[in-house]
Structure 1
Amino acid sequence: MSWHGNWKRRGEWLEVTPGREVMASEDRMMAAHQWLARHFGLSDKIIRGWMAENGIQLAGDRLRVRLFRAEEPEYEPYYRELNILYEDDFCLVVHKPAGMLVHPTVKEQHLTLAHAVAAYYESTGQRLRVRHIHRLDEHTSGPVLYAKNDFAHLKLDEAMRVKEIDRTYVAFVQGIVSPELQVIDLPIGKDRHHKQRRRVSPTGQHAVTHVKVVETYSNASLVRLDLDTGRTHQIRVHMSHMGHPLIGDTLYGGQSSLFPYQALHGERLSFPHPLTAEREVVEDPWPDSFHELRSSLMAEE
């Protein structure tokens, strides 16, 4: 469900013109409820909650929904330069550099991307909570998607659940990958011998990775990867299992002489916009370290 008509933001309110099906109704508030359920794709429970909090109003020929409430941030701001890849009233996409966590894993951590996003919101006068929709490993760079309000969070979480959010990665891996390796469909589970590792396991969760060879070098390959699933360390586990660990990924058998951590970058993110359902496509250019690694590999040929 989506809204393809005109809309405006007025402070905390989203304002739309629903037309006669609401405004000509004898019970306009009930008609507004039904209209929101149909066009916003929301449950009766959520809409009733909005109504109970006076979050839905009718004004003339306009329907107003209080989507953009001011909120108390839950992360202490940590100021650093951020590369904003996309932003509107509903979504934010930020480049995550390698070596930074998306969010703290223990209470004492204060230098994560979540803290940097909190600082960005504060510096731009946006009183918002930080709501990430997906994660990247600490040493994987790429775009991270955030929802800027509860409505967007609900819609993007659902899009993630039904696999409507697409992520494309590039990786430098060891060895010459055969062009015949196009799909890796192998379940992934925990490694009982190592707390941090995952492994291909017949009792693991379903996991599918699509592989395309982009370039080959003397003893390495550049591959582009798309995921049908989002298991922990999925690309790293699958490529290592196929005999092509990521360069720098010592946890899964990669060598660190050319690169200090796994050579994996999120190159592209696409998602349906929470309000309009139009597909937004966000590109994240390679970090300088990837260009330097590629030059080093080409020089070895």
Structure 2
Amino acid sequence: MKSKFRSNNNSLTYTVKEHTELLPFLLEVMHNRSRNSVKSILTRGQITVDDHIETKHNYPLKPGQQVIVLKNKAAIKQDQLIGMSIIFEDKDIIVINKEAGLLSIATKKEKQQTVHHQLMEYVRQQDPQNRVFVVHRLDKETSGVMMFAKNEKTKRQLQDKWKDIVKERTYVALVEGKVTKPSGRIASWLKETKTHLMYSSPDKNGQHAVTHYKVLQSNNEFSLLEVQLETGRKNQIRVHMKDLGHPIVGDKKYGANGNPIGRLGLHAKVLSFNHPTTGQLLLFKADVPRSFYNKSK
């Protein structure tokens, strides 16, 4: 017996009972489907393991983990988006909670399984002329709060006055090792290599980046930090955690040794801003993944 089963209208939830890999697990619990059908469900991003989308066939499963399969019919419904949920929407903006494993925007390899593409499909169900516009991004493996504009005017306002409009951007980072200093400020000048790796430069001709952090909890192996951005540069938190000597869990690109939670240990917890049209101060939160707390207890 490898799983315990629960169902609702949109998804099937299985609790893993013994060590195995994702594809064999799915083939067993979805024994009425063909191997190709199960592979397609995996590839389309309809499988979530704990708190992240997983598409790797050989992803290792451990007892106690939850595997959620989004039903095909649910996946095409207006109210069921894959790998994200809408927190707030009005005529000008959409605020979502993105899962780890979902791209914000298209790449050369992936055009459709992105936040932007899904939201475009979503708003066009009301009116084929509707559009959504990218205002800021989260890395594929980062989860949490993201905002999109629903018209050109709002997009320009948000991008032109981003520093004035946005009042708080708070992340939670699970990092390697015990961070002994309870709080701190990291400032550097960020530059990019030809291979798109960001790094802190000793000279001042890069982009100035400032990050504030405080320790929420820690043990000898891991620390959970609350991180606030004073500036929003590409891969800023990831570089600054490496500079601190405590790379983000799962961030091999920036010096992490392992990946015990099966994803990048970075989550956009809070986004607070003045609404670009009404001026009203809004604050949106996305719950921190349980795995972050469990590892740093």
Fold shared, TM-score > 0.5 on shorter chain = yes
Identity %: 34
Partner of 1:190: 192
Partner of 1:292: 291
Shift of residue 181 of structure 1?
4.1
Partner of 2:124: 122
- From 132, 147, 160, the equivalent of 2:162 is 160
Partner of 1:276: 278
Q: Provide Cα deviations, 1:197-233, integer angstroms capped at 9, x if missing partner.
A: 1111023210000111111112211001111111111
Secondary structure in 2 aligned to 1:83? strand
Partner of 1:246: 248
Q: 1:280 to 1:163 in 2, by over 3 A?
A: closer
- Which runs of at least 4 in structure 1 moved beyond 4 Å after TM superposition? none
**Number of aligned residues:** 217
Shift of residue 258 of structure 1?
0.8
Partner of 2:81: 80
Q: As a proportion of its length, which structure holds more strand?
A: 2
* Amino acid corresponding to residue 121 of structure 1 in structure 2: V
Q: Which range is displaced more, 177-186 or 118-127?
A: 118-127
Partner of 2:230: 228
Q: 1:274 to 1:242 in 2, by over 3 A?
A: same
Q: 1:96 to 1:257 in 2, by over 3 A?
A: closer
Greater C-alpha Rg: 1
TM-score by length of 2: 0.67
Q: Provide Cα deviations, 1:223-265, integer angstroms capped at 9, x if missing partner.
A: 0111111111100000101101001111111133412332000
Secondary structure in 1 aligned to 2:159? helix
* Amino acid corresponding to residue 81 of structure 2 in structure 1: R
Q: 1:296 to 1:162 in 2, by over 3 A?
A: closer
CA contact (8 A) 1:96 1:144 kept: yes
Shift of residue 165 of structure 1?
4.8
* Amino acid corresponding to residue 198 of structure 2 in structure 1: R
CA contact (8 A) 1:132 1:144 kept: no
Secondary structure in 2 aligned to 1:178? coil
* Amino acid corresponding to residue 227 of structure 2 in structure 1: L
Secondary structure in 1 aligned to 2:260? coil
Shift of residue 164 of structure 1?
3.0
Identify unmatched segments of 5+ residues in structure 2.
Answer: 1-76
Secondary structure in 2 aligned to 1:182? strand
- From 205, 210, 227, the equivalent of 1:208 is 210
Q: Provide Cα deviations, 1:108-143, integer angstroms capped at 9, x if missing partner.
A: 622111111012213345742120210011110111
Q: Compute the RMSD of aligned alpha carbons.
A: 2.3
CA contact (8 A) 1:92 1:148 kept: yes
CA contact (8 A) 1:170 1:264 kept: yes
Following the alignment from structure 1 to structure 2, what is the Cα–Cα distance between the partners of residues 143 and 180?
25
Shift of residue 161 of structure 1?
4.6
Q: 1:107 to 1:223 in 2, by over 3 A?
A: closer
* Amino acid corresponding to residue 248 of structure 1 in structure 2: G
CA contact (8 A) 2:217 2:296 kept: no
Identify unmatched segments of 5+ residues in structure 1.
Answer: 1-76
Q: 1:198 to 1:128 in 2, by over 3 A?
A: same
Partner of 1:10: none
CA contact (8 A) 1:164 1:272 kept: yes
Following the alignment from structure 1 to structure 2, what is the Cα–Cα distance between the partners of residues 279 and 184?
28
Q: Provide Cα deviations, 1:160-183, integer angstroms capped at 9, x if missing partner.
A: 154635311001001111335411
Q: 1:123 to 1:256 in 2, by over 3 A?
A: farther
Secondary structure in 1 aligned to 2:121? helix
Following the alignment from structure 1 to structure 2, what is the Cα–Cα distance between the partners of residues 105 and 165?
30
CA contact (8 A) 1:207 1:231 kept: yes
Q: 1:278 to 1:163 in 2, by over 3 A?
A: closer
CA contact (8 A) 1:159 1:272 kept: no
TM-score by length of 1: 0.66
